[in-house]
Structure 1
Amino acid sequence: MNEPQLVRGLGEQIVERLREDILSGRIAEGERLREVDLAKRFSVSRGPIREAIQKLAWEGVVETDRNKGALVSTSAPDEITELIIPLRCTIEKYAIRLLFDQLTEDDFLAWETILNKMKQACEAKDFALISEHDIAFHRALVKQANSPDLLAIWSAMVSRIRRHFRESHLQYQNPIQIYEEHLPIIEALRDGSLAEVLQTIENHIE
């Protein structure tokens, strides 16, 4: 089945949908991304698909091989995951420092929209969607810092620990707790000091 027609921001929409499919596990690790198949899926030529794959490769979500083409990157082993998680925390805290004094109601609306989708996924016990919205929420935080380099570093690291998100979610007896654990972040961003937000992020991640 083809995707709904893409019109505005065509290339970025393709990147976002592929990224979501990969980070949530709907497209498996090591799976080959075939330009012809993706062009058919999105009803576009191969040009935008090629550009999307290149961007995802730059983020570290996809690996390119001269003989095999584009492959979904594999998750890091446990010992590397243990190293990446505190680095991810450092990056998100740095992003918070950059964005904290520039927050608007539109920012909160965007974040709350993602969390509402996460809540629905938790209620449906759809763990692929839970992971997708969890990663999307934290990505939106980092993206709001308006530093492409910071976002690229964060994306490359998170692509390597996406299995960690899914495995940690499966440990919850009641998935709604995953949603509830994100609410203090929004509350701290809206009403707390910078120090309180940074501590909340640290507690949430580590």
Structure 2
Amino acid sequence: MSGLGLRRVPSLSRREHVAEILREAITSGRLKPGDRLVELDLAAELGTSRAPVREALRQLEQEGLIASYPYRGSEVLGVSQDEVEQVLVPIRITLERFAFGKALEKLTDADLTALQGMVDDMLVAASAGEAEQLVDLDIRFHELVITRSEQRHCLQMWKTIQPRVRAYFRRDAPAHADPADVARQHQELLDVLRGGDRDAVLDAVERHIHIHLTPGSPDVG
């Protein structure tokens, strides 16, 4: 396997570092669906032994980012529109409606300021054509609100699906007619959060996420 330009692994927590490096390469699109991941090649490029690479690949398989086959190694998985429509979007709607509703009374002025900062940064990233930064800000926006819900099971579920959500955000990034629409969608959601009307928030969350039921939608959720 040719060099992927991956950074070398520090000595501490090698499995976690290997998983983080490969996860970022997959969700950013540098490793594409169908690319093979060979333990020996990865260990050599990352400057580590095969054991942490093997453990990291198992972790990424559990996250749904790769598939492993006997005697064939591992392969990067794509995100199909069926998975988005039938699995990820329904899970997100249920999880985020509940979490946003719980977070509504717990969000502080500092939280709302932080969310506004993310939206402002989305506009900057969109203007600069920084798709990966835009995706990262999108993920961080939703994760902050889910965290403020103080519902541990919701946050745990979010962290389980987040790599797949990030992957489909990244997959859809080239389809945006205007990347600034991502910021505008989040500004609308933030404005509803500021309004404090729970029913309006729940409706806004569902509309926001439902965008991805349309392939090639111009807006990220």
Taking structure 1 as the reference length, the TM-score comes to: 0.70
**1:131-161, Cα deviation, whole Å (9 max, x unpaired):** 45434544555566432652365347637x7
**Structure 2 counterpart of 1:82, one-letter code:** E
Q: Which residue of 1 aligns with 2:152?
A: 146
User: What SS does the aligned partner of 1:63 have?
Assistant: strand
1:35 maps to which of 34, 39, 53? 39
How high is the sequence identity, in percent, across the aligned residues?
28
Distance 2:58 2:25 in 1: 16
2:171 counterpart of 1:166: yes
CA RMSD, aligned part only? 3.7
Where do residues 1-206 of structure 1 align in structure 2 (5 Å cutoff)?
A: 1-3=5-7, 6=10, 11-76=15-80, 78-84=81-87, 85-103=89-107, 115=119, 118-135=122-139, 137-138=141-142, 141-142=145-146, 145-147=151-153, 149-151=156-158, 154-155=161-162, 158=165, 162=168, 166-167=171-172, 169-206=173-210
Classify 1:124/1:82 alpha carbon distance in 2 versus 1 (closer, same or farther; 3 Å): same
TM-score by length of 2: 0.67
Give the total of aligned pairs: 202
Q: Which of structures 1 and 2 has the bigger CA Rg?
A: 2
> Residue 128 of structure 1 contacts residue 166 of structure 1 at CA under 8 Å; is this kept in 2?
no
Distance of aligned partners of 1:196 and 1:117 in 2 relative to their CA distance in 1, 3 Å threshold: same
Task: Report the Cα distance in structure 1 between the residues aligned to 2:16 and 2:110, rounded to whole angstroms.
Answer: 20
Q: Which runs of 5+ in 1 are unaligned?
A: none
**Residues in 2 aligned to 1:41 and 1:133: alpha-carbon distance in whole angstroms:** 29
Q: How has the CA–CA distance of structure 1 residues 138 and 41 changed in structure 2, closer, same or farther, with 3 Å as cutoff? A: farther
Poorly superposed stretches of 4+, deviation over 6 Å = none
Q: Which amino acid aligns with 1:87?
A: I
Please say which of residues 23-32 and 33-42 is displaced more in the overlay. 33-42
* Distance 1:7-1:72 versus aligned 2 partners, 3 A rule: same
Gaps in structure 2 of 5+ consecutive residues: 211-221
The separation in 1 between residues aligned to 2:114 and 2:8, in whole angstroms, is 22
- Deviation (angstroms), 1:116: 5.5
The answer to whether the Cα contact below 8 Å between 2:27 and 2:163 also exists between their aligned partners in 1 is no
Secondary structure of 1:181's partner?
Answer: helix
